[in-house]
Structure formats: structure tokens, C-alpha cells
């Protein structure tokens, strides 16, 4: 271990910063956050530092550095562009055993500063021991995406109840189980959903609960997994996938996404192929209720966005009626995902001022749409579930006044490695699906914006 990681208490402690430029300003910002009493020595100060002159916790010493500036301080940072001055600060600090950091000069540091993920009071510090600050920053970015923004609130809540929990559970193992259940269950989710009072209520109930299982109410997470590319999932979706006990998923959820679910979670396939629903909608609704009532954290994973042609609304209506807690996590809907990956902006100042999402499939298999409204100029139409009725869709649009040469894009398995894009016209649609053996899931985009695909395409695919 090249360096020992420690967290230093600087509240009310004196710290010295030598240098008045933007690098010094960055360090001053951090020291202020840590509550230090800062003295800055420099003949000149940058704008950012000048704005702090009214602060009573910062002393500005407007002169060149002198040896006497090294007094009894807790920590010293040198951020000048003068090597001799930096060296001097370092030597003097070392002689007095004061921790010193010369910015960007590892050889002149008795301590180094990590990349910080700040979820105060939770702090995660990343260091590569000075080997590669870029790598540390990349790691930091990964961790930033992984640790919910509201994590600090969770730590503050634990702090508030720590003593009470200690008194209630005298056995350390039991205490650990308790906190593990609380920090990965309903209490945490309530806090993340900005419902602090309810989180406190649930935590208190769990403390008072005399049964063996803490936090025994289950919860349903209705989560949109996006159109296929796992990179397009939200941070929240990923976090809930890693904490769920059981996952109920649809056919549309792609295998690489399913691979990201917690390894020991139970997986239930709910099907949802056209006309071949493995489970009926009613039995899916009931399944979710039953699993949650068993105290499980249930992830209902859906392709795209759960509230866009996803029947998400129906599923949580049943939950709401049964008083089951739930949360809804949006996903990138197929229209947005496929359009981006096919280089088709759904709106464009020159070609389309509106965009309309419709389903090409109705319950009894017929298409009954407001064609007048769809066939308007300067509008993009996106058909979900329209593959089986595509000939009819094209015919009706033409019959209602659209030109036969209006461009149409079919995007099959959009955003995945199997994406195929076909650029056609309303007139060339008949027979296309059979000719090209196009399979679901496929989305159909109609409108002038489709022409931009030739120019704006950036994602590789197997279409033509
Ligand atoms: N809730 C989903 C839509 C479910 S309806 C969402 O927001 O995206 C199912 C239809 O979505 C499919 O018939 C198809 O038209 C479309 N679809 C979903 N994923 C797709 C994908 N990766 N590529 C192309 N179309 C897709």
C-alpha cells in the first residue's frame, strides 16, 4: 500500500493554501466544504477567489510567500506555478511534520487527494496512488452512476436511529441483519422517492416489530428496461435489478439486460407475444400482488417505457387497489431509442412539428384509427405493434391524402446488435415484410424526417 487512506477532520482547523490561481481556488473550495479556517497566500488572486474576500473563515494574505507563513497549521497545499516556491513550501512543511500537498507533483506530497464521490455524510474516495488521475476520474464516474444521489439521506437516517436500534437489538448479528433489510428495502426506497416522513414511520415500525422478519412488506418496482441496449437503462433501473428478490419479465426484455439482474433472484417469464400471452394480463396482475404480499421485492421488468403501450398502468392499478407499495421507473421507449439509433430525429424544424405514437394493433386484431388526424402534414407517426397490419396502415394513410412517396422506416430490434433498418415509402410497403422476412419487435416511422437517416445514421446495422 503506497498511501494510507484516511479521512481528516478539518472543521475549525487552520489550513494554508499557497497560490491564488484557479487550481488553488479548486482546493479552497474543498477545504471550505470541510469547514477549515483557510489562509491563502499569493500576490494576486483569480476571480473565483476574489469573490470570497467577504468570507470570515478565509484570510487573504496579498504578498509573496515567506517562510514565516508556515505556522502551526493542520494542512498545507501549494498550488503556485513557481517550482522554487513549491519546493520551499514542501521542505518547510516536511521539516515541521505538517501534511503537505504540492498540486500535480506527487514527489512533493506527503499526502495526496483522491477523486471524491460526495454523498455526505457518505464519502467515497478513489485513488490510484498517483499513477493515473484519469483512471481515478473514470472510476469515479462509474461510482457516481452507481450510488444513488440520495444516499447521503440514508446515512443521515441511520445516524439518527443508530442508538435506538442498538438498544433494541443487543446482538450485533441481529443488528446487522436489521440494517441490511432496512437499507435495501422499503425504508430506503421511500427516502429515495423523497418521502422522508413515511420512511421514518416505516423504520420505526420495523424497530418495534416483534416478529422475526423486519421490513416484511414487499414492494413492486415497475421498471422500464429500454429498447434493448443495456447501456440505455437508467441508474435507478440497474440498482433495483440488483436488489430484487424476484423478477417478472416480458419477452421484449433483451438477454444482455436480464444478465444484469441479481444472480440469485427468481426469474419468472410472463411472455407477451402477440396472441400468445404466456400469462394472461389478469394473472400477471395477481402474481405481482401475491409475490409482494409474501414480502418480496418484486421487479416487474418491461421493454421500453412501462407507461407507453406497456400496460404498466393496469398492473399498478391492481397494486394500488390492494395497498401494495410500488414505484415506477421510466425507460427509453422504442420510438425514441429506435429513432436515435436509425439517425431519424422524430421532430425537425423543417419537416415535422409534431410526433404521434400510435398502436397498429387493437384488441380484436382490427385497426381502427383516426386516419384524418394521422395523415396531417409536418407530422411524424410512429406505429408500435404495427408489423402485422402494415399493409393496411400504408393503404389507409394514402387513402387519407398522404403521398405514396412519403418515406417510411422500419426498425427491427432497434438499439441491439441485431438492428435492421429498412427505408421504404408508403407505396412500397405491400409485401415488404414477407420479402425481407421482417420480424417483431419492429417499429414503423412515417414522415419526411425519415429521409434524414441517410445523412444522420451512425449506428451499424444489417438492414439496407
Ligand atoms: N413499452 C414499450 C412498447 C411495448 S409495445 C416501449 O415503450 O417501447 C411492443 C412494440 O414496441 C413492438 O411491437 C414494437 O413495435 C416496439 N418495440 C419495442 N422494442 C423494440 C425494439 N427494440 N425495436 C423495434 N421495435 C420495438
Q: What is the pLDDT of residue 141?
A: 87
Find the angle CA(176)-CA(180)-CA(181) to the nearest 5 degrees: 120
DSSP state of 114: P
- Going from the C-alpha of 369 to that of each of 27, 171, 380, 393, the distances in angstroms are 62, 65, 15, 9
Q: What is the pLDDT of residue 279?
A: 83
CB 452 within 8 A of CB 345: yes
* Helices vs. strands in the chain: H and E counts, helices first: 17, 17
- pTM surpassing 0.85? no
**CA-nearest residue, atom 11 of ligand 1:** 384
CA 367/CA 94 separation, integer angstroms: 81
- Is 272 an active-site residue? yes
Helix axes 151-168, 196-208, angle to 10 degrees: 20
**Atom nearest to 334 CA in ligand 1:** 8
Q: Which of 272, 296, 305, 461 is catalytic?
A: 272
CA of 150 to the centre of ligand 1 (A): 32
- Is 250 an active-site residue? yes
| Interval 336-391: pLDDT, tens | 999 999 999 999 999 999 999 999 986 666 678 999 999 999 999 999 999 999 99
Say which residue the cell 417499429 belongs to.
Answer: 443
Q: What is the pLDDT of residue 284?
A: 92
DSSP state of 109: B
Q: How many CB atoms lie within 10 A of CB 122?
A: 15
More confident call, 332 vs 149: 332
Q: What is the pLDDT of residue 444?
A: 98
**Average confidence score pLDDT of the chain:** 92
Backbone angles phi, psi at 260, to 5 degrees: -90, -5
CA 285/CA 186 separation, integer angstroms: 20
Instruction: Please enumerate, as own/partner, the contacts of 234-240 that have beta carbons within 8 Å and a separation of 24 or more.
Output: 234/329, 234/330, 234/331, 235/145, 235/146, 235/148, 236/148, 236/192, 236/329, 237/329, 237/331, 238/146, 239/146, 239/148, 240/299, 240/329
Which residues surround ligand 1 with Cβ inside 6 Å?
227-228, 252, 302-305, 308-310, 333-334, 338, 384-385, 411, 413-415, 440-443
**Atom nearest to 307 CA in ligand 1:** 1
Looking at the DSSP bridge assignments, the partners of residue 59 are 39
CA 454/CA 423 separation, integer angstroms: 9
What's the average model confidence in pLDDT over 210-230?
83
CA of 310 to the centre of ligand 1 (A): 9
CA 149/CA 230 separation, integer angstroms: 21
Which residue among 384, 417, 461 is best mutated to probe the pocket of ligand 1, counting the most ligand atoms within 8 A of its Cβ? 384
**Atom nearest to 383 CA in ligand 1:** 15
| Interval 22-46: pLDDT, tens | 999 999 999 999 999 999 999 999 9
Q: Look at residue 212 and tell me whether its pLDDT is greater than 70.
A: no
Instruction: Please enumerate, as own/partner, the contacts of 364-373 that have beta carbons within 8 Å and a separation of 24 or more.
Output: 367/392, 367/393, 367/396, 369/396, 371/396, 371/397, 371/399, 371/400, 372/400
**Atom nearest to 419 CA in ligand 1:** 23
| Interval 156-193: pLDDT, tens | 999 999 999 999 999 988 888 899 888 888 899 999 98
Under the banding of pLDDT at 50, 70 and 90, the label for residue 463 is low
Amino acid at each position: 500500500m503506497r498511501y494510507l487512506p484516511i479521512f481528516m477532520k478539518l472543521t475549525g482547523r487552520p489550513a494554508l493554501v499557497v497560490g491564488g490561481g484557479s487550481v488553488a481556488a479548486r482546493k479552497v473550495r474543498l477545504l471550505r466544504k470541510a469547514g477549515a479556517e483557510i489562509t491563502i497566500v499569493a500576490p494576486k488572486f483569480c476571480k473565483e477567489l476574489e469573490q470570497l474576500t467577504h468570507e470570515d473563515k478565509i484570510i487573504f494574505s496579498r504578498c509573496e510567500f515567506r517562510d514565516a507563513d508556515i505556522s502551526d497549521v493542520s494542512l498545507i497545499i501549494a498550488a503556485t506555478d513557481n517550482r522554487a516556491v513549491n519546493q520551499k513550501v514542501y521542505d518547510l512543511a516536511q521539516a515541521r511534520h505538517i501534511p503537505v500537498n504540492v498540486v500535480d507533483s506527487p514527489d512533493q506530497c506527503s499526502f495526496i487527494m483522491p477523486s471524491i464521490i460526495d454523498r455526505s455524510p457518505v464519502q467515497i474516495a478513489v485513488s490510484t496512488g498517483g499513477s493515473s488521475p484519469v483512471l481515478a476520474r473514470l472510476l469515479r464516474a462509474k461510482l457516481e452512476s452507481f450510488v444513488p444521489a440520495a444516499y447521503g439521506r440514508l446515512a443521515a437516517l441511520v445516524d439518527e436511529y443508530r442508538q435506538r436500534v442498538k438498544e433494541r437489538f443487543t446482538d450485533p448479528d441481529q443488528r446487522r441483519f436489521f440494517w441490511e433489510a432496512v437499507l435495501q428495502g422499503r425504508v430506503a426506497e421511500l427516502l429515495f422517492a423523497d418521502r422522508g416522513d413515511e420512511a421514518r414511520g416505516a423504520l420505526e415500525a420495523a424497530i418495534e416489530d416483534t416478529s422475526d422478519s423486519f421490513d416484511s412488506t414487499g414492494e413492486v418496482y415497475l421498471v422500464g428496461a429500454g429498447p434493448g441496449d443495456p447501456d440505455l437503462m437508467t441508474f435507478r433501473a440497474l440498482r433495483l435489478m440488483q436488489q430484487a428478490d424476484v423478477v417478472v419479465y416480458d419477452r421484449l426484455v433483451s438477454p444482455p439486460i436480464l444478465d444484469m439482474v441479481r444472480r440469485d433472484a427468481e426469474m419468472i417469464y410472463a411472455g407477451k407475444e402477440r396472441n400468445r400471452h404466456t400469462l394472461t394480463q389478469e394473472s400477471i396482475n395477481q402474481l405481482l400482488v401475491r409475490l409482494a404480499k409474501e414480502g418480496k421485492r418484486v421487479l416487474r421488468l418491461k421493454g421500453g417505457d412501462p407507461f407507453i403501450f406497456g400496460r404498466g398502468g393496469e398492473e399498478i392499478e391492481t397494486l394500488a387497489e390492494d395497498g401494495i407499495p410500488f414505484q415506477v421507473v421510466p425507460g427509453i421507449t422504442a420510438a425514441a431509442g429506435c429513432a436515435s439509433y436509425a439517425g431519424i430525429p422524430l421532430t425537425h424544424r423543417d419537416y415535422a412539428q409534431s410526433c404521434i405514437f400510435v398502436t397498429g394493433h387493437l384488441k380484436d386484431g382490427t385497426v381502427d384509427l383516426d386516419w384524418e388526424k394521422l395523415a396531417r402534414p409536418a407530422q411524424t407517426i410512429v406505429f408500435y405493434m404495427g408489423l402485422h397490419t402494415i399493409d393496411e396502415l400504408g393503404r389507409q394513410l394514402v387513402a387519407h391524402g398522404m403521398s405514396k412517396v412519403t418515406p417510411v422506416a422500419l426498425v427491427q430490434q432497434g438499439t441491439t446488435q441485431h438492428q435492421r433498418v429498412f427505408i421504404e415509402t408508403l407505396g412500397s410497403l405491400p409485401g415488404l415484410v414477407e420479402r425481407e422476412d421482417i420480424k417483431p419487435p419492429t417499429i414503423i416511422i412515417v414522415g419526411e424526417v425519415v429521409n434524414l437517416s441517410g445523412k444522420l445514421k451512425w449506428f451499424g446495422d444489417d438492414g439496407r
